[in-house]
Amino acid sequence: MGKFVFNKTDIEGVYIIEPTVFGDERGYFMETYSETDFKEAGLNYKFVQDNQSSSFKGVLRGLHFQKNHPQAKLVRVLSGEVFDVAVDLRENSPTYGKWVGALLSAENKKQLMIPRGFAHGFLVVSDKAEFAYKCDEFYHPEDEGGVMYDSAGIKWPEIDVEFTLSDKDLKHPTLEKLDFKFKEV
């Protein structure tokens, strides 16, 4: 039996991944990544950096990307719940400008695999969430790009608090005004 279920989404290369969870009265165990299993599924990534953040309900981080050093990301939630989004920015993609969203939580243990060429963001829908992700390229602060969170037709979940965004994230252009597309990734 495979340790992961790799669910394709409507956008090429984006997967919702469900790990096999082994649980008993003591708790649970699961693998969150296996190079062998991912390669067998056609997801051939060499991750070089792990990141983790903690945010409160209503915090919306994104939509972010790196222009010259694009990153593939394997994202998951350690505690709480987020709505995670990937927006296709690949110039020649038939799904350019389309988005995929998934509810990721500590409870459902799902992960989202986002290839290079996408903007990424998430909204915390629980009181607090801890979010972790692997990247296949290092972070380069001078290389940041972004898209306004409310463009691309994203249907963010309705929650009982206002969204909280950084000043930087509030200054990103809309998808229509974005002067950047990934040529090859």
What lies within 8 Å, CB to CB, of 40 at 6+ separation is none
- Active site residue ranges: 64, 133
Q: What separation in angstroms does the CA of 162 have from each of 6, 60, 108?
A: 34, 10, 25
Read out DSSP for the chain? Answer: --SEEEEE-SSTT-EEEEE--EEETTEEE--S--HHHHHHTT------EEEEEEEETTBEEEEEEESSS---EEEEEEESEEEEEEEE-BTT-TTTT-EEEEEEETTT--EEEE-SSEEEEEEE-SSEEEEEEEESS---GGGEEE--TT-TT--PPP-SS--B--TTGGGPPPTTT----BS--
CA triple 154-158-162, angle to 5 deg: 100
